Amino acid sequence: MQDWNRQIIEQFRANGGKIEGQTEGQGMLLLTTTGAKTGKQHTTPLACIADDDRFIVIASYAGAPHNPAWYHNLLAHPEVQVETGTETVKMTATVATGAERERLWAKMLQVYPGFAEYQRKTTRQIPVVILHR
Protein backbone atom coordinates (compact mmCIF):
# COMPACT_ATOMS: atom_id res chain seq x y z
CA MET A 1 0.00 0.00 0.00
CA GLN A 2 2.85 2.40 0.77
CA ASP A 3 4.32 1.92 -2.71
CA TRP A 4 0.91 2.58 -4.30
CA ASN A 5 0.43 5.71 -2.17
CA ARG A 6 3.93 6.95 -2.99
CA GLN A 7 3.28 6.53 -6.73
CA ILE A 8 -0.06 8.36 -6.51
CA ILE A 9 1.51 11.19 -4.49
CA GLU A 10 4.34 11.57 -7.02
CA GLN A 11 1.90 11.54 -9.96
CA PHE A 12 -0.43 14.02 -8.22
CA ARG A 13 2.39 16.48 -7.58
CA ALA A 14 3.96 16.07 -11.02
CA ASN A 15 0.65 16.63 -12.85
CA GLY A 16 -0.97 19.47 -10.87
CA GLY A 17 -3.35 17.17 -9.03
CA LYS A 18 -4.30 14.96 -11.98
CA ILE A 19 -4.18 11.18 -11.63
CA GLU A 20 -4.28 8.69 -14.51
CA GLY A 21 -7.60 6.88 -14.71
CA GLN A 22 -9.44 9.41 -12.58
CA THR A 23 -12.88 10.03 -14.04
CA GLU A 24 -14.77 13.27 -14.48
CA GLY A 25 -16.33 14.59 -11.28
CA GLN A 26 -14.10 12.55 -9.01
CA GLY A 27 -11.58 14.43 -6.95
CA MET A 28 -8.51 13.62 -4.99
CA LEU A 29 -6.43 15.48 -2.46
CA LEU A 30 -3.30 14.84 -0.49
CA LEU A 31 -3.83 14.99 3.26
CA THR A 32 -0.80 15.52 5.48
CA THR A 33 -1.34 14.71 9.13
CA THR A 34 0.91 14.76 12.16
CA GLY A 35 1.47 11.33 13.69
CA ALA A 36 -0.46 10.87 16.92
CA LYS A 37 2.44 9.00 18.54
CA THR A 38 5.48 9.96 16.46
CA GLY A 39 4.81 13.60 15.64
CA LYS A 40 6.08 12.87 12.10
CA GLN A 41 4.32 14.14 8.98
CA HIS A 42 2.39 11.56 6.93
CA THR A 43 0.81 12.23 3.52
CA THR A 44 -2.08 10.15 2.22
CA PRO A 45 -3.94 10.44 -1.11
CA LEU A 46 -7.70 10.45 -0.55
CA ALA A 47 -10.82 10.60 -2.68
CA CYS A 48 -12.74 13.77 -1.88
CA ILE A 49 -15.71 15.88 -2.76
CA ALA A 50 -16.27 19.59 -2.29
CA ASP A 51 -19.03 20.86 -0.03
CA ASP A 52 -19.16 24.63 -0.41
CA ASP A 53 -15.68 25.79 0.64
CA ARG A 54 -14.87 22.55 2.48
CA PHE A 55 -13.55 19.16 1.41
CA ILE A 56 -15.09 15.90 2.53
CA VAL A 57 -13.10 12.68 2.90
CA ILE A 58 -14.08 9.24 4.14
CA ALA A 59 -12.07 7.12 6.62
CA SER A 60 -13.15 3.86 4.99
CA TYR A 61 -9.88 1.89 5.03
CA ALA A 62 -11.58 -0.28 2.38
CA GLY A 63 -14.01 -1.60 4.99
CA ALA A 64 -11.37 -2.83 7.43
CA PRO A 65 -12.57 -3.40 11.01
CA HIS A 66 -10.58 -0.38 12.26
CA ASN A 67 -10.05 3.19 11.12
CA PRO A 68 -7.01 4.19 9.05
CA ALA A 69 -3.92 5.66 10.75
CA TRP A 70 -4.48 9.08 9.14
CA TYR A 71 -7.86 9.28 10.93
CA HIS A 72 -6.29 8.61 14.35
CA ASN A 73 -3.62 11.20 13.53
CA LEU A 74 -6.13 13.96 12.77
CA LEU A 75 -8.11 13.19 15.91
CA ALA A 76 -4.92 13.84 17.89
CA HIS A 77 -3.81 16.77 15.71
CA PRO A 78 -6.75 18.29 13.76
CA GLU A 79 -4.57 20.92 12.08
CA VAL A 80 -3.68 19.36 8.72
CA GLN A 81 -2.21 20.30 5.36
CA VAL A 82 -4.25 19.75 2.20
CA GLU A 83 -2.95 19.70 -1.36
CA THR A 84 -5.46 20.16 -4.18
CA GLY A 85 -4.22 20.64 -7.69
CA THR A 86 -1.26 22.99 -7.25
CA GLU A 87 -2.53 24.63 -4.05
CA THR A 88 -1.37 23.69 -0.54
CA VAL A 89 -3.33 25.05 2.42
CA LYS A 90 -3.57 24.58 6.16
CA MET A 91 -6.96 23.27 7.23
CA THR A 92 -8.71 21.93 10.30
CA ALA A 93 -10.32 18.50 10.35
CA THR A 94 -13.56 17.74 12.15
CA VAL A 95 -15.65 14.59 12.18
CA ALA A 96 -19.20 14.99 10.89
CA THR A 97 -22.00 13.70 13.13
CA GLY A 98 -25.74 13.26 13.05
CA ALA A 99 -27.75 14.66 10.14
CA GLU A 100 -24.72 16.41 8.67
CA ARG A 101 -22.82 13.11 8.54
CA GLU A 102 -25.74 11.42 6.80
CA ARG A 103 -26.07 14.24 4.25
CA LEU A 104 -22.36 14.21 3.46
CA TRP A 105 -22.22 10.39 3.33
CA ALA A 106 -25.08 10.37 0.79
CA LYS A 107 -23.37 13.12 -1.23
CA MET A 108 -20.12 11.14 -1.27
CA LEU A 109 -21.93 7.96 -2.40
CA GLN A 110 -23.31 9.83 -5.43
CA VAL A 111 -19.73 10.27 -6.68
CA TYR A 112 -18.08 7.21 -5.11
CA PRO A 113 -20.70 4.46 -4.77
CA GLY A 114 -17.98 1.97 -3.80
CA PHE A 115 -17.95 3.38 -0.28
CA ALA A 116 -21.31 1.65 0.31
CA GLU A 117 -19.60 -1.71 -0.20
CA TYR A 118 -16.91 -0.77 2.30
CA GLN A 119 -19.62 0.06 4.85
CA ARG A 120 -21.23 -3.34 4.28
CA LYS A 121 -17.89 -5.04 4.97
CA THR A 122 -17.47 -3.59 8.47
CA THR A 123 -19.45 -3.22 11.68
CA ARG A 124 -17.98 0.22 12.48
CA GLN A 125 -19.66 3.36 11.19
CA ILE A 126 -17.21 4.75 8.67
CA PRO A 127 -16.25 8.30 9.67
CA VAL A 128 -16.95 11.27 7.42
CA VAL A 129 -14.33 13.98 7.84
CA ILE A 130 -14.74 17.67 7.02
CA LEU A 131 -11.66 19.68 6.09
CA HIS A 132 -12.15 23.43 6.40
CA ARG A 133 -10.02 26.57 6.45
Task: Identify the three-state secondary structure at position 95.
Answer: strand
Q: Residues near 2 by Cβ (< 8 Å), separated by ≥ 6?
A: none
pLDDT in single tens digits along all 133 residues of the chain = 689 899 999 999 999 888 887 655 579 999 999 999 999 999 999 999 999 999 999 999 999 999 999 999 999 999 999 999 889 999 999 999 999 999 999 999 999 999 999 999 999 999 999 999 9
Predicted TM-score of the model (pTM)? 0.94
Fold adopted by 2-132: Pnp Oxidase; Chain A (2.30.110)
**For the chain, domain boundaries:** 2-132
Beta bridge mates, 84: 87
